[in-house]
Structure 1
Amino acid sequence: MTITFITGANKGLGYEAARRLIEAGHTVLLGARDADRGRAAADELGARFVRIDVTDDASVEAAVADIAAHEGSLDVLINNAGVMQPLVPAEQLRGADALAVFDANVVSILRVTNAFLPLLRRAAAPGGPRIVNVSSGMGSLALTHDPERVESQIVAPLYTASKAAVTMLTTQYAKALPEVRVNAADPGYTATDLNGNRGTQTVTEGTDAIVTLATEPAAAGTGRIIDRFGPVRW
């Protein structure tokens, strides 16, 4: 049985990824900061709720201890939790805004990944341990300069910079952890709370790359970023 932990999974992409992976036979641990919403989502799906605030060291360590006590190991870690930047003009952004966005979207991945490495190294499922970081084409230089792509029409300095950092963090961890496959997923322009549900894709379409990376064989490789159609230009 493949044991999968998803952060920020009480709604949106995380919730849909949890639903699909349970359907695929995974034992899913649903991570969320809000205990009431997290438990309700887990109960709806048939997952086990694990409280985690990815911006808080103590909360992350408590989540590790919880999973160590109940499951004893972890096969797939999906770093999905994240935030959008304040919806104000670029010149009104402040340093505190940048620190908050980067903490939630980038530093959290380092914090959670490093804390969960001992459990991932005990992975027993076929394919070995896997980390899936939810990035975005919004962090791609190629896509944000392509006038044919929606990514080039949106101005969000902090969010886009944070997602570029997520992708680089992914490639660096793939090199640093050869025993763990570390890849990034670009959900595409998906209708979620982050964009006021204006996205043109469904959450099912938006989770295609996440589910692929969580279920593909080891031969698929590491250090990649893909969307639902294949490799993403970066």
Structure 2
Amino acid sequence: MSEQSTHQRVALVTGANKGIGRGVAGQLAALGMTVVVGARDPLRGEEAAAAVRTVGGDAHAVTLDVTDQATVQEAAKQVEERFGRLDVLINNAGITGSGQVSPEDAHDQVPSSVDLDMVRAVFETNVFGVIAVTNAMLPLLRRSPAPRIVNVSSHAASLTLTSDPDGPFTALLPSAAYAPSKTALSALTVQYANELRKHGILVNAVAPGFVDTDSNNHTGLLTVAQAAEVVVRLATLGADGATAGFFSEEGPVPW
């Protein structure tokens, strides 16, 4: 274990080489945390970590594909060997399943004609990948005095919002892949929170909002920095903070 790891909190962010994940990594580093940048592409991960270091942050890259159990286990091994524990896990890595099209506007997600292989691929990353990473990192999180898990979700996960015929989603195309995967993530968040609350591990989901990222071909209205703020707030909750919750910048999101 490095000497610095006894003084600084250690955070792992998946999918951190770009977009919201990269923004979260930068903000956590700015708070003084040691940030582990998880990325499928080693070069892009190292570039993101180097960018954090350039502005004075402490960041390290690990190769991490949430759908590849070997890289997940290797990432956990590297975190353990270097830091001995993990304080914050941000499950940010996710895919829309529809390339550079916003999932709510994607014709290939319409339930009656959706390709099942695409649905499986989306769930593999957005749901099963979260389970794989969380379970691999839990032994390290249990060594933290204040462990936090944040699952990056979407307003599209809300059954209350998406089922309202007069609500904000009524004009958008139905989705059989992305939106259901995020709804499943909500259920998963609650179940992990219920299991882990007695151990002081707070687990929450967050809807960052409509953010200007690659996933919507940069049509989002919020900046990455704005979106990252609510994620970071949940990652730094005090001991009396919420768990089993779903939050946005405006407050709780209805299930």
TM-score w.r.t. length of structure 2: 0.87
- Give, as a single letter, the amino acid of the residue that structure 2 aligns with 1:212: R
Q: Tell me which moved more, 146-155 or 217-226.
A: 146-155
- Give, as a single letter, the amino acid of the residue that structure 2 aligns with 1:144: T
| Map of 2:140 onto structure 1 | 119
Q: Which has the larger radius of gyration?
A: 2
- On the 8 A contact 1:134/1:187 being kept in 2, the answer is yes
Distance (whole Å) between structure 1 residues aligned to residue 33 and residue 163 of structure 2: 38
**1:6-62 CA distances to partner (integer Å, 9 max, x unpaired)?**
000000000001111111111111100001111111101121101100001111000
Within 5 Å, which residues of 2 pair with 1:12-161?
12-46=19-53, 47-86=59-98, 87-89=106-108, 90=110, 91-124=112-145, 128-146=146-164, 150-155=168-173, 156-161=175-180
Question: How far does residue 164 in structure 1 lie from its aligned partner after superposition?
Answer: 0.3
- On the 8 A contact 2:119/2:176 being kept in 1, the answer is no
Provide the aligned C-alpha RMSD in A: 1.4
Question: How far does residue 149 in structure 1 lie from its aligned partner after superposition?
Answer: 5.3
In the alignment, structure 1 residue 7 sits paired with structure 2 residue 28: no
| Map of 1:192 onto structure 2 | 213
TM-score w.r.t. length of structure 1: 0.94
Within 5 Å, which residues of 2 pair with 1:213-224?
213-224=234-245
- Give, as a single letter, the amino acid of the residue that structure 2 aligns with 1:123: S
Identity of aligned residues (%): 43
Distance (whole Å) between structure 2 residues aligned to residue 70 and residue 21 of structure 1: 18
Question: How far does residue 148 in structure 1 lie from its aligned partner after superposition?
Answer: 6.7
What runs of 5+ residues in structure 2 fail to find an aligned partner? Answer: 1-7, 54-58, 99-105
* Partner SS for 1:225: strand
Distance (whole Å) between structure 2 residues aligned to residue 50 and residue 153 of structure 1: 40
